[in-house]
Amino acid sequence: MVTDSETAAERVAKCLRSLADKFPDSGGATEAWRNVDDVAYALSQISLFTPRPIKIIAIGAGFAGLEIAHAVESGALPGAELVIYEKDSGIGGTWFENRYPGFYADRNDIYNYVQSVAEQNDLKKYVNLCHKVTNAEWNEVKQRWQVTVQKMDGREIAISSPGVVEGETDETINTDCDILINAAGFFNNWKWPAIPGRQSFHGDMLHSAAWPKDAEKSLDGKTVALIGNGSSGIQILPAIIDRVQKVYVHIRSATWVTTGLAEKFAGPNGSNLVFSEEQKRQWAENTEEYLQYRKEVEDSMSSRFRLYMAGSKIQEAARKFSTEQMTRKLTEGGKVELAKLLLPTWEVGCRRPTPGNGYLEALCSDKCEVVFGDVAAFTPDGLRIASGAEFKVDAVICATGFDLSCVPRFPIIGRNEVNLQDSWRNNPESYLSVTAADMPNYFTVIGPASPLGHGSLIPSIEFVAAYICDLVRKLQTQNYSSVCPKPHIPRAYQKQSLAWLDRTVWASNCASTFKNGTVDGKLVSLHPGSRLHMFKLLRTPRYEDFDWTSLSPNPDLAFAWLANGFTIEEDEAFYNGGKADLTNFDKNSAGAPIPGVPKLDIKRMVDGGKRISFLKPTPPTSAGRQFEQRMRVIGVYDKGKRAGTVVQTETDLVDVETNDVYTRVVGNNFYIGQGGWGGPKGPSAEILTRPNRHPDLTYPLITTQETPLLYRLNGDTNPLHAIPEPGRQMGFKGAIIHGLWTYNATLYAVLVVVGGSQAANIKTFEAKFASPLNPGDKATVQVWRLGHYDSSGFEDIRFAVQNDENGKEVLTNGRAFIKPVRSGVIHKM
């Protein structure tokens, strides 16, 4: 066991003391804990639920690793330092490595989606590419994982498998962390078939899981052997049948070739459906309609889970339908004899169901010859089967799948010197697929007992990540150094799982990936229930199933984490974006990632201009009603690297029950110095003229040094409005007053002098922000009445705001439609 002179408690006490300066008004410390317990004493100087800084190492930058990165980036894991080690040269995991022809769902679409999400959310900064974790060992004294990382030689796809060192350099990194998350996944630990003589074959040897880019082109006009009729084999054959001269398909066992999941929502013959621009626009404008569509797709996929219940009506119907469909297609193709060999005796779903679009038709091609039985050996020229017959080929494609044994790829040594490699090689017991006995602060995303056969894994990854975050936050905020399931919990959970799974078709008599290629193996890789069943379990963690190691082991200090008697919201709401009962302006303004646009820094955003339309009288109270702000992006314009990016949004205030829109705000947010990414420049702004005369009305605006802090009271934590340094970095004198205060104060002034302060007398109000005010500046609102009225009696008003200190215009391009309180009468202020 690795040892270290500094204990976990000593390290954490030092860390907590460094946080105490953030809470100067907490009333000091709890003197009863001085010289009794350093951690408890330090906790008494900070607020309740202050997250303790921790370090997380995640292994793998596929969907799972990136979901952890998103949790850190979005603030779901506050105070966390994250390092992701990825063995390959790119992110994406399964969707980076797997590129064999026919890969379904559409590999490129999903791969591009992963890349865009990572870029838009700035997740790549957490990832260290070409780094392979090779060892991890728990240090009980430090309550940390000691992790060994090997630098790779930069090859595109690296193998992570016990004993494989190919591609590793001499550069070793020794590091440590509080939390170790294994997000390496299942579908990349591939294996060559255990067939003698593989090295003797002189032709091209390809594996579906390590497919070189564009390797299918090398098959043109060749004679090819395809070994396997699992998921990848079924997808590859239709994709190469038109390229090759001849293909021998080597099949050991029967299999069900099914229709696709939720196929009614797919394109022709189960292909990827390409939505029209009109359809995309319709959904963008009608989000409820789009949500309903997504729910229908999800329901179609989730509702077929009853198919996997042995003896169920839906299972009987699926078997009848699949038998008829396979028999019909093979008969129409002139190979009815294949039906007797391909149709299984076991239930549909015992093996992983694979949508076989075009597979049966390809088997019926004159180019294809099906060879049943085991391959006995490779030969220099091809393959030999048990009967002695040899098939000479130019290339062999091994569609022989992955190692799904759940065994970690490297030694993971936890408490009591337990090596997870050894214990899981014998019997992979986990709790909810996430945690394991004797492995404190170790989490697996998609481990044993996962919903591998239940549908898309991506929602499962999201729920597992949220579950991990929940446990980690408890560690951070309630004075624990580690969490580990009680020793009997993973064992009891597995017994329950296996007992339940015995009721399913997965337990029937077939060799499947769920049993790691065996017929009678344990179903240790599957969750005992539906996906929704698992999601609900993950939403409600049972903390009592875990052993929690306290940093203050004295039982009398069990509640030292109650801290200084204040909440983190009370102490930090106005400074660090805390929630309290205020709007979180930063979070609300950030919005969702914008496709094709780099992530923009909200802290360097200023208002460019706004137009508000009052569509219905705003009620004086929201009591008994629910309102929502619904925002969508209607334009993004690149004004150049030095200038920045303009994001134009439309925000509606909507009554949820009636769907009535009360106000609509069109705003231009200007992200300073964040342009130059190649986007459209956008249209030029409309210039609104005003009369060439002195203003008809004026109204004074007076600011103080405290005025910018009004932004904080409204949930806007942008330091640009509070402290001088950010403003100076952006070319201002210091903190500035800009945007919503100027806009709202001017709206009030114009409504006072023209509309008599009556909210019903304003229809629209718009202006462009020209320059900021400095705290203490005085300004003047200037109003011109044009005497033009719309059909409802609202007058066209022009206005501007001038800084009295320097003569600069603060607001320009101002226009409003207001119903005057006494038409035609001018009021001088």
pLDDT of residue 87: 96
Please report where in the chains the tokens 């759940």 appear, as a residue: 406
**pLDDT at residue 588, rounded to an integer:** 52
- Count the residues in the chain: 829
- Closest by CA to 409, choosing from 794, 150, 769, 636, is 150
Question: Which comes out higher in pLDDT, residue 178 or 644?
Answer: 178
Residue 576 has pLDDT above 50, yes or no: no
Helix (H, G, I), strand (E, B) or coil at 82: strand
> Is 194 in a helix, a strand, or coil?
coil
- pLDDT for 585 equals 47
Q: For residue 155, is pLDDT > 80?
A: yes
Nearest by Cα to 718 from 741, 746, 747: 741
Which structure tokens are listed for 169?
């350099």
SS (H, E, C) 284-323: HHCHHHHHHHHHHHHHHHHHHHHHHECCCHHHHHHHHHHH
Candidate from 93-107, 366-380, 580-594 with smallest mean pLDDT: 580-594
Q: What is the pLDDT at residue 822?
A: 57
Residue type, 679: G
Nearest to 26 by CA among 825, 801, 708, 571: 571
pLDDT number for residue 717: 65
SS3 state of residue 549: strand
What pLDDT is attached to residue 714? 67
Assign 269 a pLDDT band (cuts: 50, 70, 90).
low
Under 8 Å between Cβ of 676 and 638: yes
DSSP label at residue 78: T
* Range 206-220 average pLDDT: 88
Cβ atoms < 10 Å from Cβ of 165: 10
Q: Which of 593, 442, 496, 536 is nearest to 121 (CA)?
A: 593
- Kindly give, in sequence order, each residue whose CB lies less than 8 Å from that of residue 805, ignoring residues fewer than 6 positions away: 774, 777, 778
Q: How far apart are CA 754 and CA 827, in angstroms?
A: 8
Token pair listed for 538: 């993950």
198-398 has the same fold as 52-188+404-476+486-546: yes
Categorize the per-residue pLDDT at 579 as very low, low, confident or very high, splitting at 50, 70 and 90: very low
Under a CB-based contact definition with an 8 Å cutoff, are residues 156 and 97 in contact? no
Higher pLDDT, 555 or 19: 555
Helices (H), 136-193: none
H or E element, residue 10: helix 8-19
pTM of the model as a whole? 0.72
Are 786 and 797 in contact by the 8 Å Cβ rule? The answer is yes
CA angle 101, 102, 104 (to 5 degrees): 130
Angstrom distance (rounded) from CA 687 to CA 812: 9
Query: Residue 652 above 50 pLDDT?
Result: yes
d(CA 234, CA 364): 13
Whose CA is closest to 575, among 72, 75, 23, 46? 23
- What is residue 2's predicted lDDT score, i.e. its pLDDT? 40
Residue 571 has pLDDT above 70, yes or no: no
Q: What is the pLDDT of residue 574?
A: 37
pLDDT tens figures, 37-64: 999 999 999 999 999 999 999 999 999 9
Of 38-42, 292-296, 656-660, 728-732, highest mean pLDDT: 38-42
Domains of the chain, residue spans: 52-188+404-476+486-546, 198-398, 585-818
Q: Which residue has the tokens 């996430």?
A: 434
Render the burial of 313-324: b for 16+ CB within 10 Å, e for the rest.
eebeebbeebee
Other CB atoms within 10 Å distance of the CB of residue 517: 18
Here the contacts of 783-790 (C-beta below 8 Å, separation 24 or greater) are 783/695, 783/696, 783/697, 783/698, 783/699, 783/750, 783/753, 783/754, 784/690, 784/691, 784/693, 784/695, 784/696, 785/696, 785/697, 785/754, 785/820, 785/826, 786/691, 787/824, 790/763, 790/817
Q: Specify the CATH number of the domain 198-398.
A: 3.50.50.60
Q: Residue 466: is the preceding peptide bond cis (ω within 30°)? A: no
Question: Considering only CA atoms, which of 514, 513, 537, 535 is closest in space to residue 525?
Answer: 514
Percentages helix, strand, coil for the chain, rounded to the nearest 5?
30, 25, 45
User: Token match 């609102």: residue?
Assistant: 781
Q: Cβ(407)–Cβ(398) under 8 Å?
A: no
Lowest mean pLDDT among 174-178, 316-320, 638-642, 701-705: 638-642
- Predicted confidence band of residue 26 (pLDDT cuts 50, 70, 90): low
CA distance 723 to 131: 41
Mean pLDDT of the chain: 88
Task: Give me the CATH topology for the region 585-818.
Answer: Thiol Ester Dehydrase; Chain A (3.10.129)
CA 352/CA 256 separation, integer angstroms = 9
How many C-beta neighbours within 10 Å does residue 818 have?
23
Q: For the segment 506-543, what is each residue's pLDDT rounded down to a tens digit?
A: 999 888 888 877 888 899 999 999 999 999 999 999 99
pLDDT in tens, 803-826: 999 999 999 999 999 999 854 334
CA distance 602 to 589: 8
* pLDDT of amino acid 268: 67
Q: Is 489 left (phi over 0), alpha (psi -120 to 50) or beta?
A: alpha
Residue 215's pLDDT band (boundaries 50, 70, 90)? confident
3-class SS at 48? strand
**pLDDT-derived band at 710, boundaries 50, 70, 90:** confident
* Arithmetic mean of pLDDT, 244-252: 95
Residues 212-222, mean pLDDT to the nearest whole number: 90
Q: What's the rounded Cα separation, in Å, for the pair 691 and 703? A: 28
Say whether pLDDT at 441 is over 60: yes
- Give the Cα separation of 287 and 632 in Å (integer): 10
Phi, psi of 193 (to 5 degrees): -65, 145
Contact status, residue 204 vs residue 394, Cβ threshold 8 Å: yes
> How many CA atoms lie less than 13 Å away from 652 in the CB half-sphere?
16
CATH architecture of 52-188+404-476+486-546: 3-Layer(bba) Sandwich (3.50)
